[in-house]
């Protein structure tokens, strides 16, 4: 039930608004990461690690996003910013 409520509260407008508050203008790679993160969370009920995220994104889209690229996409704290924009709880290892 809680899962359904959270899904209903999150939408693309919400993601754009949160990203804008964090100084991020979302592009195709941001959306790929957001979509993957949301799907991963609702399948396993945990946020993906950066390593899992990058491996999966690069394999699925046949691109090469590195951890440096991820920092450029989400400059303040990639794990935390991705979670916020994706509308999922922050990762356990986030300070």
Q: How far apart are CA 93 and CA 95, in angstroms?
A: 6
Give a yes or no: residue 9 inside a domain: yes
Q: For the chain, what is the domain count?
A: 1
Is 94 catalytic? The answer is yes
Q: Where are the alpha helices (DSSP H) in 26-75?
A: 28-44, 50-61, 67-73
Whole-angstrom distance, CA of residue 63 vs CA of residue 13: 26
Q: Is residue 92 part of a domain?
A: no
CATH of the domain at 28: 1.10.10
Tell me, yes or no, whether 8 lies in a domain: yes
User: Is 73 among the domain residues?
Assistant: yes
pLDDT at 4 over 70: no
Q: Does pLDDT of 8 surpass 50? A: yes
Residue 49 included in any domain: yes
Selecting among 4, 48, 94, 95, the annotated active-site residue is 94
Residue 79 CB neighbours (<10 A): 20
Tens digits of residue pLDDT in 11-61: 999 999 999 999 999 999 999 999 999 999 999 999 999 999 999 999 999
Q: In this structure, is residue 93 part of a structural domain?
A: no
- The more confidently predicted of residues 77 and 3 is 77
């Amino acid at each position: 039930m809680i899962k359904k409520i959270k899904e209903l509260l999150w939408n693309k407008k919400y993601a754009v608004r949160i990203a804008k508050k964090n100084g991020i203008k979302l592009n195709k790679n941001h959306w790929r990461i957001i979509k993957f993160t949301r799907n991963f969370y609702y399948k396993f009920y945990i946020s993906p690690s950066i390593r899992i995220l990058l491996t999966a994104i690069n394999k699925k889209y046949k691109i090469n996003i590195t951890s440096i690229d991820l920092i450029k996409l989400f400059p303040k704290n990639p794990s935390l910013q991705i979670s916020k924009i994706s509308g999922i709880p922050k990762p356990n290892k986030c300070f």
